[in-house]
Structure 1
């Protein structure tokens, strides 16, 4: 267990001791787990502008909001199931995994999307032009092997190239590394990590920071178009027993979405302030204004991954549509 993992585990445990279990809290308490990258910008805006508190107050609730920083879908899912958070932020892959495992029990489902973002698999190995060029000497960094959305997209790409029986062929050379550390390794070079399946802004930093870095794979190409890679999810119990807090959270997300779309410059400043990132501001603005990036909370193009994961046995339950693994809320009605 590395230092980062120990700190994350201690933080989750500490929160559990401070607040008790999921069943012990009252309306108004909400603990939200987020990871690294500008894909969490809507949460950054909601945090900085205290939008959840604002909408909860309008509903007569004094909201107590806590923000938890974790890395990897496995850690986020563990925190949710142990009752240490109410809202989980991770990729579609972790959502589908936990939906499948809790169906008929905790009934975890998607709350909303955090927007559509293209994810890039970037390498600094000059011999790698496609995923077929990776060898045993390469190491592909991603948030969680076999769980994260990056890992699942890589598996889908592998299945398309080598067939479903070889879908997890590249898992054996994949390693779980937080995005900031992986990006630093790609930019610096000379480490065992020769590729990183990341997210914005880390992938753009790699391409700008190392002349050897190049894109091997784009998530949009694998999934067939713009897609919601990072999502939020919760247990049915939290949603049912805390309707005012839950609605305040959704309303805050929606307001944050409108704010970012209308105010990209202010949104970039908020990201830098909340995340304490050393990211170049012009690079951030380029990402936020990228036509391929869409800040909307309705999930889009998630079912291709769900169907694939069922086909290869990664999940037992086959969803008929995205409505099976997203809550039946108004903003999710048109989701797919």
Structure 2
């Protein structure tokens, strides 16, 4: 009898232990439990899907449970990449080039969705600068960071017009988007390599001109900003990962179908009218899509111009299996 009681006690203990441990692939689903999620992004129209997700509570809508989301506005892709690596960020929005570099370097994250392709411009406050060839060694060019997406895109233009992708590297000054805009307008720097909406805001300022770059250098539709998530999130909390993916789908659909409503959401983030923001969102070069375009081509350029030692052989090396595109 005593052995039977001991055996029953051992079985009960095993059941309790297994229940407590659960499985690392099971999200917490109890009504009283709350998942935490940290989402990081930068400023710019390219990140509109994140702001729509936040405003419309799309992650919460698509997750069958409670989730507490910490929305973090960070200064650049490098800071977000570091957060993903150190487990202080679960989901981020970063430049495609930064995502490729991080994933190939063994960072614990991959692309979970494309986000947007946005127009890039090189603005200048110096009347003498008409082309890239007019930039002197004394002229400073503000970008978000060395090896950032703007740096790589500028390198594409430098290769096309100057014959050397790194011809302007010595001119670069790293500044967050908004600071670069302020520096250009105030005259602290002579050029600013920037995407929407700052390029549109700059072109409307007196004394600011933009250097012409052919569309063949920066093809419309090529993905410039992607959504990335940690492998830990996908593996250990797959239902929450799926909610994030669905939220991104719905956010992009919302933007494409409702530019006026999207502009209303974004108006608190920019000193611009709703009409101006609608024009940014609907510009021919402003494309919001979860499908990747031109990523492998970008990777090839990065390898060729020493931004990357070795590129991925396929999209699956840098993106999760739910991602479409090339």
**TM-score with structure 1 setting the length:** 0.82
Give the Cα separation in 2 of the matches to 1:239 and 1:160.
40
1:242-257 superposed matches below 5 A: 242-257=237-252
C-alpha offsets along residues 82-109 of structure 1, whole Å, 9 cap, x if unaligned?
Answer: 111011211111111101111xxx4421
2:309 to 306, 316, 333: 316
Deviations 1:198-232 (A, max 9, x none): 121111000012243223436x5324342111111
Counterpart position of 2:291: 298
Q: CA deviation at 1:173?
A: 0.8
1:80 counterpart (84, 93, 101): 84
Question: How far 1:239 moved relative to its partner?
Answer: 1.2
Q: Do 2:85 and 2:108's aligned partners in 1 also have CA atoms closer than 8 Å?
A: no
Counterpart in the other structure of 1:18: none
Q: For 1:58-105, what per-residue CA distance to the aligned partner results, in whole angstroms no more than 9, with x for missing partners?
A: xx2211211111112211111111111011211111111101111xxx
- Contact residue 29 and residue 63 of structure 1 kept, 8 A: yes
Report the alpha carbon displacement of residue 185 of structure 1 after superposing the two structures with TM: 2.5
Following TM superposition, the consecutive aligned residue runs of length 4 or more in structure 1 with deviations greater than 6 angstroms are none
Aligned-partner Cα distance in 2 for 1:328–1:69 = 28
Residue 117 of structure 2 is matched in structure 1 by 116
- Answering whether residue 279 of structure 2 is matched by residue 286 of structure 1, we say yes
Superposed, which structure 2 residues align to 1:6-45 within 5 Å? 28-45=35-52
After superposition, what is the alpha-carbon deviation per residue over 1:17-39, rounded to whole angstroms, capped at 9, x for unaligned? xxxxxx9xx75322111101111
Corresponding position of 1:183? 181
From 201, 205, 208, the equivalent of 2:201 is 205
The match for 2:229 among 229, 234, 255 is: 234
Contact 1:223/1:305 (8 A) holds in 2? no
Larger Rg computed on CA atoms: 2
Tell whether the 8 Å contact from 1:201 to 1:279 is kept in structure 2 after alignment: no
RMSD: 2.0
C-alpha distance after superposition, 1:4-61 (max 9, x if no partner): xxxxxxxxxxxxxxxxxxx9xx7532211110111111111110111101101xxx22
User: Following superposition of structure 1 onto structure 2, how do residues 147-226 of structure 1 map, counting pairs within 5 Å?
Assistant: 147-163=147-163, 166-188=164-186, 190-191=187-188, 193-217=189-213, 220-226=215-221
Aligned to 1:131: 132
Show CA shifts across 1:161-195 (max 9, x none): 444xx42221211111111121123233x32x111
SS in 2 for 1:306: helix
Q: How many residues align?
A: 296
Contact persistence 1:33–1:87 (CA under 8 A):
yes
Q: Which of 56, 62, 66 is the matching residue for 2:66?
A: 62
Secondary structure of the corresponding residue to residue 222 of structure 1:
coil
- Unaligned segments of structure 2, at least 5 residues: 1-23, 29-34
Contact 2:39–2:71 under 8 Å retained in 1: yes
Residues 123 and 217 of structure 1: is their aligned pair in 2 closer, same or farther, counting only changes over 3 Å? farther
Pairs within 5 Å for 1:253-268: 253-268=248-263
Which has the larger helix fraction? 1
